[in-house]
Amino acid sequence: MELSEYVQKGFQMLADPGSFDSNAFTLLLRAAFQSLLDAQADEAVLDHPDLKHIDPVVLKHCHTAAATYILEAGKHRADKSTLSTYLEDCKFDRERIELFCTEYQNNKNSLESLLGSIGRSLPHITDVSWRLEYQIKTNQLHKMYRPAYLVTLNVENADPRTYPKISFSCNMEQLQDLVGKLKDASKSLERATQL
Amino acid sequence: MLLDLSEEHKEHLSFLPQVDSAVVAEFGRIAVEFLRRGSNPKIYEGAARKLNVSSDTVQHGVEGLTYLLTESSKLMISELDFQDSVFVLGFSEELNKLLLQLYLDNRKEIRTILSELAPDLPSYHSLEWRLDVQLASRSLRQQIKPAVTIKLHLNHSGGHNTSILQTDPATLLHLVQQLEQALEEMKTNHCRRVVRNIK
């Protein structure tokens, strides 16, 4: 993990009981996780009465440093020993290291979930709806008498505002072909997971 | 059900008895070819010269024949009804037989062509799939994220459309389940009754 001097300096300040007492340390740590994981969090996350006595510049620096480190650790799936080593280098005492690791462990799943969801992907199918109709006639062709399906795929795109739908019609043979191919795919998937 | 032929139409068709059956058969072939590929006015000129008539006459004859065939195919009229409809034109028995044969031989293909004129929704052509496992991304390493990538081929208004989509294993199973239900629906009593009774 590559971490800048800025982050290291921030952590060194965080390690100092003179700048951050136990309570302030815990609050700042929680604030860092909250900023990252809580969708509704904003700047008010640092507006706690027990943090008021600390210089806002220092507060911001440490908050940013902690958040940066948490993201890097999450990205690389850091384990407890990696975390401990780095925090020791930043002169954290045993108690603070334990606190950090516990807090990290509590938030690990949400963090990894969040990081995993970032990124570009192909349009993602989320649902399907279908309609079966019996075609009787058109103005060009009478006495048709055949069933037809209209299938609509709900698709989620990278851009959260667009939810395009892909619709198409097909007859019975075509739908059987489609279902057959999808079943092949899911059987392959099953086999692959058993390897 | 009898065909309703207008006076103008009957007039155009009146050219047919004036030529021999080989020519009528040829006109029939041209009519169907024009339905398949669109009309080609040059053909009218060539035929007009050979038959020593105006190219308009040839054109009307072919168009009249085309309309006769398409209307009959569209309504899917029975042999008997076709014969009765053509009877009013006062043609020879040989010509009537020829026209009936033209109708029966080409009906299926003409109906296929007519079905392409219906309001067009994209229709299914085929589907390709691929199994992928995402191992890492810029924001998260050491992942095992299975996904199915799908290339859906659709036809629309003569053109070919391809969509590349992705889905996860759970949704894939859901899709299969939903669409299998759709297929099952045709076998239910309700649907069978409708199919049996609407003729």
Q: What is the ipTM of this complex?
A: 0.78
Cβ–Cβ < 8 Å for A171, A157: no
Three-state secondary structure of B156-199? ECCEEEEEEEEECHHHHHHHHHHHHHHHHHCCCHHHHHHHHHCC
pTM reported for the whole predicted model:
0.74
| Residue of higher predicted confidence among A157 and B166 | B166
B70: Cα within 13 Å, side-chain hemisphere = 19
**A194: phi then psi, degrees, rounded to nearest 5:** -90, -5
DSSP state of A167: E
Structure confidence at residue B131 as a pLDDT band (50, 70, 90): very high
Q: What pLDDT, on the 0 to 100 scale, is given for residue B121?
A: 86
**Which chain B residue's Cα is nearest to A178?**
B127
pLDDT of residue B28: 87
Closest residue of B to A124, CA-based? Answer: B166
Q: What is the pLDDT of residue A76?
A: 94
Nearest residue of B to residue A112 by CA position? B140
Stretch B18-37: mean pLDDT: 86
Largest CA distance in chain A: 90
Q: How many CB atoms lie within 10 A of CB B153?
A: 14
Judged by CB atoms closer than 8 Å, whether chains meet at B183 and A172 is answered as yes
Chain A residues 5-64 within an 8 A CB cutoff of chain B? none
**Predicted pLDDT at B54:** 85
Work out the burial of residue A60: count CB atoms within 10 Å of its CB; fewer than 13 is exposed, 13-18 middle, 19 or more buried: middle
Residue B158 predicted with pLDDT over 90: no
Say if A148 is an interface residue toward chain B (CB within 8 Å): no
Residue B139 to residue A122, Cβ atoms within 8 A: no
Q: Tell which of A179, A184, A193 to mutate to test the B interface (max B CBs under 10 Å).
A: A179
What are the tokens at B154? 């659709």
CB contacts, 8 Å: A109 with chain B: none
Which of A152-161, B59-68, B69-78 is predicted least confidently?
A152-161
pLDDT digits (tens, 9 = 90+) for A166-193: 999 999 999 999 999 999 999 999 898 8
Interface test with A, best of B111, B121, B124 (most A CBs within 10 A): B124
Give the mean pLDDT of A145-156. 92
> Is the confidence at residue B127, as pLDDT, over 90?
yes
pLDDT at A108: 94
Question: Do residue A181 and residue B199 have CB atoms under 8 angstroms apart?
Answer: no
Q: What is the pLDDT of residue A51?
A: 84
For the ranges A157-161, A162-166, B139-143, the maximum mean pLDDT occurs at: B139-143
User: Is the separation of the CB atoms in A62 and A14 below 8 Å?
Assistant: yes
pLDDT tens for A32-85 read 999 999 888 777 888 888 888 888 899 999 999 999 999 999 999 999 999 999
Computed over every residue of chain A, the mean pLDDT equals 90
Predicted confidence (pLDDT) at residue A163 exceeds the cutoff of 80: no
Residue B155 has pLDDT above 80, yes or no: yes
Chain B contact present for A177, CB below 8 A: yes
pLDDT for residue B1 is more than 80 = no
Does residue B198 register a pLDDT over 90? no
Residues of chain B with C-beta less than 8 angstroms from the C-beta of A153:
165
Q: Is A115 on the interface with B (CB under 8 A)?
A: yes
- Contact status, residue B139 vs residue B153, Cβ threshold 8 Å: no
Band of residue B169 on the pLDDT scale cut at 50, 70, 90: very high
B118 to A76: CB separation less than 8 angstroms, yes or no: no
CA distance A162 to chain B (A): 15
Asked if residue B47 has pLDDT above 90, the reply is no
Residue at A180: amino acid letter: G
Q: Which residue has the higher pLDDT, A187 or B19?
A: A187
Tokens, residue B120: 């067009």
User: Could you tell me which residues come within 8 angstroms of residue A46 by beta carbon, excluding any fewer than 6 positions away?
Assistant: A28, A31, A59, A60, A63
